[in-house]
Amino acid sequence: MIDYPTLKVIWWLLVGVLLVGFAIMDGHDMGVGTLLPFAGRSDDERRVVINTVGPHWDGNQVWFITGGGAIFAAWPIVYATAFSGFYWAMMAVLWALFFRPVGFDYRSKIHNATWRSTWDWGLFIGGAVPPLIFGVAFGNLLQGVPFGFDDYLVSTYTGSFWQLLNPFALLAGVVSSAMITMHGGTYLAHRTEGAIQQRAVRGAVGAAAVLVAAFIGAGIWLRYGGIEGFVITSVVDPAALPDPLAKTVVRSADAWWANYAAQPLLYALPVLGVVGALVAAVLVSVRRTLSAFVASALAIVGVIGTAGAAMFPFVMPSSTMPNASLTVWDSVSSHLTLGLMFWATLIFMPLIVVYTAWAYRVMRGKVTVAHIRANEHTAY
């Protein structure tokens, strides 16, 4: 059996992989949802846009659900504290996601312009709102979240929903929204042609520009804008039984840059974020759409990796009770559960990748208006 400290780090990486997987897979169909009302002008065109992700959005959404399940299993106290603390943000995400399954499946089953346009905006909400909120949540994690524990480890969140919508967090929301829109734009450009493709390209390039500006802006703000990071000052025993109250933590101005200072190679991550987005914009403009999609996916790895590398080993720092901050070392499941879930992930994740790839391969090629008209009663 793998030792406990190693498993704790592996699980930090695996949650990262699930998060990045979610952003790349569900992200591209959410991006398509965000672009839907703008990239498709007529009903036929909107059906083209919807059908580029029609066979896949459901499988992609499982990245979100499995991500939730994996955090539950590997970091139960994070699952408990984050989702109850961010209660209204989670409700907003869930309710936005409600529009997707029904939007996709029900929209084209009725011939009525109002019905269809209502679901189009529903799909827009389901695509645009979750990435925005996830970005805002990340922005708040970087600033610390007001929560604490009692002796029984009952968590109490002392902030409000509106407090989450502070300027830095909103900027992080812009980063996330732009990233997902860019990604959806490259995918949509890959699967369509003509006018729709042109609009998708414009969307992807615009979003990439916003992403680069907002991402660099957030970095500068984090460096010089007075946002303090967190640092553990007591001795950490990575093999210890998880107890989030056993350490001491202080805030310090440079804490989020400490990992970068110690390991300059990590700067490759923010560079990947910026360069990936720029390359994606260039490639999609010259209609190298598949390569653009890959570049955009790499940009996602860079952006999410940047935040993760800055915060390690913190997962959810507490602004009001810093010692109660949740870290990679003290928010995890038991040794047995972490080991078990590691093997389960190792076995199933490659299988998932293989059959998902096969599904995309089966459905490959451009979706066109002619295709929609030929499949009037069965296409979305």
Whole-number minimum distance, CB 194 to another protein, in Å?
17
d(CA 85, CA 91): 11
Min separation Cβ 215 and another protein, Å: 28
- Which residues, numbered 271-330, are part of the site for another protein (CB under 8 A)? none
- Strand runs labelled E in the chain: 147-149, 155-157, 229-232, 249-252, 314-316, 326-327
* Pair of tokens at residue 124: 């827009």
Q: Cβ of residue 63: shortest distance to another protein, in angstroms?
A: 9
Q: What distance in Å separates the CA atoms of residue 21 and residue 120, rounded to the nearest whole number?
A: 25
Q: Which of 1, 2, 344, 370 binds another protein (CB under 8 A)?
A: 344
State in angstroms the smallest separation of the CB of 113 from another protein.
4
248 is a contact residue toward another protein (CB under 8 A): no
User: How far apart are alpha carbons 312 and 12 in whole angstroms?
Assistant: 9
* 189: CB partners within 8 A, 6+ apart: 197, 200, 201, 204, 284, 287, 289, 292
Task: Please report whether residue 17 would count as binding another protein according to CB under 8 A.
Answer: no
Position among 176, 181, 318, 345 found at the interface with another protein (CB under 8 A): 345
Least separation, in Å, of the C-beta of 344 and another protein? 5
The distance in angstroms from the start CA to the end CA of the chain is 48
Q: Which of residues 141-180 bind another protein (CB under 8 A)?
A: 151-157
Binders of another protein among residues 86 to 125 (CB under 8 A) are 87-88, 90-91, 94-95, 97-98, 100-102, 104-106, 109-114, 116-117
Q: Are 23 and 175 spatial neighbours (Cβ–Cβ below 8 Å)?
A: no
Q: Which of 44, 372, 37, 72 lies closest to 184 in space, CA to CA?
A: 37
Query: Judged by CB under 8 A, does residue 348 bind another protein?
Result: yes
Tokens describing residue 55: 């066979």
Out of 241, 271, 286, 290, the only residue in the binding site for another protein (CB under 8 A) is 241
| Cα 86 from Cα 170, distance rounded (Å) | 15
236 touches another protein by CB under 8 A? no
Q: Does 242 bind another protein (CB under 8 A)?
A: yes
Q: Select 114 or 226, whichever has its Cβ closest to another protein.
A: 114
